[in-house]
Structure 1
Amino acid sequence: MSFRTVVEATPRLHRSELAVPASRPAIFEKAAASAADLVFLDLEDAVAPDEKEAARRNAIDALRTIDWGSKIMAVRINGLDTHYMYRDVVDLIEQAGERLDLFIVPKVGDAKDVYALDMLTSQVEAAMGRRKRMGFSLIVETALGLANVERIAEESPRIEALQMGVADLAASLRMRTTNIGGPVDDYASAAGVLDAWQFPMSRVIAAARAAGRRPIAGPFGNFKDAEGLEAAARRARALGAEGMMAIHPSQIGIINTVFTPSEAEIRQARRILEAMEEATRAGRGAVALDGRLLDIASIRQAEALLEKVKMLG
């Protein structure tokens, strides 16, 4: 075990996050009523250049006037390579109030990107006397970002999550696909279709977990393919992802179900902790359960799962 202690990000229930174009205020109330754990109002890809300023005003107004319940509220700002980004940050912190929890930051390529955004955010927060610290959720969606993901993940204590952007990443890597997530043609074997996203997703997950951040899987573009969505979500969960982006409200239910611990998992976690408590009372340093030796890693896994259950009520 390393001497270094990993400080975990602010704990939040983050199974599903719903993308909502900030240029479409007519659907904000529906998003607020959805079962998504996180809603982000999008100022980036979903908004045309001539609508950017209006979309920003819509997001500010929505954060101040709509009842979003207990959802994590986020805004995906424009990229650091655009002239929209600094005004997104300044106006949102100055005008949107304390309801905004996170900036979702697209196309992060280098730790310096995070440093620059952190500096700007800190200065505006200090000027406004903002009580709640703004968090960051960083999207890794370029070859540069994937190559630098470990350094990116550790750059700022504001970082709460790392997530993978599949469409832009596919373009950056020159992958032979035009799909948003899901199977990639030609990437198969005699045993069946393989997951072309496993390496980048695994790398993002490892970097996130090593730095104490939440890893979030990229979206599945075909919102009419429920079976494909569930399979993609289960693969991401198996690799260690904590949640997944939804590009359509119809995807939220499946994503929440996949990333919610099952009754069997909950029972087993409780049995593990009970067995370890019993061993401690008896003065034993280790204990076997169902023919398997339990150790400190087993306890941590069980505790993490039950902590998520507690958030679910």
Structure 2
Amino acid sequence: MSSERLPLRSLLFVPGTKTEWLVKAESAGADAAILDLEDAVPPVGKVTARARVADAIAGATGDMALFVRINPLDGWAAAEDLRAITHARLAGVVLPKVADPGDVLLADRLLTWCEREHGLPEGHIALVPLLESAAALRGAYDIGRAAPRVAYLGAVTGKGGDVERAIGYRWSPQGTETLTLRSRVLLDVRAAGVPCPIAGLWTNLADIEGLRAFAEQNRSLGYEGMMAIHPAHIPVINEAFSPTPEELARYARMIAAVEEAQARGAGAITFEGDMVDEAMAARARAVLRKTGMSSI
């Protein structure tokens, strides 16, 4: 199932106590919303928020993918969350405080049981482990391979968050202190075969240009999307992780040129000043497929 997950450019956190904000998330153009039952909900409000989130998922009618960040697996709240929110409309579960592959295996078993209880095919719901400790970041490869349903995995290095505390770096808008970390985790995630690696977060609500630079840096590294905390950030993130019309047109021309050369028995050719071959054409086809375009 994991290889069939839809690519997501933007995943916007929405408090589980504010499910009415889903309308804002969809209006902003978010590819997905993450309804948060963990940090965004005080202990006294957990039960009420869980019910609200379950109702919101069951009543959803739009195209935006819906995820839920459940409570940590070290208590019964996580199991209750999963039972309440499992639904055909649920795209995935965001799993916080992951320590090792064992946490992923436990969540996978619980989700499989919930899917069977609701008549859903096994693996229908994606699992998104959050790498929030040094051990989890170091074990990204094993965590990514722990279950086929793992998707949208990556390094989320927001200012002042769990990762900054765990690693001890000093956050900067340029992201130089986390560049190696994000690159290494991405390599592990790709090697594990996890589709759609995502990064994040950008917490400065007003610094849109800083967000743009950070999103473009993550895209350049190889990430395919980012988590976000405010609707105003969604258009910038979507733009950063989308190919431009000019890029798409060039890919189509490149494919045509390579295929025409192959028909003549040629391999590598010069195309618009660059040396290209079948490997580049294959990459171009993959980009066009993700955008729903044909190479013809």
Confirm whether residue 205 of structure 1 aligns to residue 195 of structure 2: no
1:35 aligned residue = 29
**1:79-99 Cα distance to aligned partner (Å, 9 max, x none):** 222331111112222xxx311
Does structure 2 retain, via aligned residues, the 8 Å contact 1:208–1:214? no
Confirm whether residue 52 of structure 1 aligns to residue 46 of structure 2: yes
- Count of residue correspondences: 288
2:127 aligned residue = 136
Does structure 2 retain, via aligned residues, the 8 Å contact 1:80–1:113? yes
Does structure 2 retain, via aligned residues, the 8 Å contact 1:18–1:40? yes
Confirm whether residue 258 of structure 1 aligns to residue 248 of structure 2: no
SS of the equivalent of 1:176 reads: coil
Describe the shift of the 1:118–1:8 C-alpha distance in structure 2 as closer, same or farther (beyond 3 A): closer
**1:132-158 Cα distance to aligned partner (Å, 9 max, x none):** 711112221211111100111111110
TM-score, normalised on structure 1?
A: 0.86
Cα distance, 1:202 vs structure 2: 0.9
1:187 aligned residue = none
Matches within 5 A, 1:177-196: 177=171, 182-183=172-173, 195-196=176-177
Taking the aligned partners of 1:121 and 1:194, their CA distance within structure 2 comes to 35
1:13 aligned residue = 7
**Structure 1 runs, 4 residues or longer, greater than 6 Å off:** none
SS of the equivalent of 1:9 reads: helix
**1:230-273 Cα distance to aligned partner (Å, 9 max, x none):** 01101111101101111000101111111110122112211221
Does structure 1 retain, via aligned residues, the 8 Å contact 2:254–2:281? yes
Confirm whether residue 90 of structure 1 aligns to residue 83 of structure 2: yes
SS of the equivalent of 1:197 reads: helix
**1:155-196 Cα distance to aligned partner (Å, 9 max, x none):** 11101210323221111112335xxxx53xxxxxxxxx5621
Instruction: Choose from 144, 150, 159 the match for 1:153.
Output: 144
SS of the equivalent of 1:103 reads: strand
1:249 aligned residue = 231
Instruction: Choose from 112, 116, 121 the match for 2:111.
Output: 121
1:286 aligned residue = 268
Confirm whether residue 239 of structure 1 aligns to residue 232 of structure 2: no
Cα distance, 1:8 vs structure 2: 6.5
Taking the aligned partners of 1:194 and 1:104, their CA distance within structure 2 comes to 24
Note the aligned Cα RMSD (angstroms). 1.9
Taking the aligned partners of 1:237 and 1:308, their CA distance within structure 2 comes to 15
2:280 aligned residue = 298
Percent identical residues = 35
Return 5+ residue gaps in structure 2 as ranges: none
Instruction: Choose from 176, 194, 200 the match for 1:218.
Output: 200
Describe the shift of the 1:84–1:196 C-alpha distance in structure 2 as closer, same or farther (beyond 3 A): same
2:145 aligned partner, one-letter code: E
SS of the equivalent of 1:104 reads: strand
Does structure 2 retain, via aligned residues, the 8 Å contact 1:9–1:159? no
Cα distance, 1:307 vs structure 2: 1.7
1:189 aligned residue = none
Taking the aligned partners of 1:224 and 1:244, their CA distance within structure 2 comes to 17
Task: Pick which of 194-203 and 7-16 moved more.
Answer: 7-16
Cα distance, 1:287 vs structure 2: 2.5
Does structure 1 retain, via aligned residues, the 8 Å contact 2:170–2:177? no
SS of the equivalent of 1:136 reads: strand
Task: Pick which of 156-165 and 228-237 moved more.
Answer: 156-165
Return 5+ residue gaps in structure 1 as ranges: 1-6, 184-192
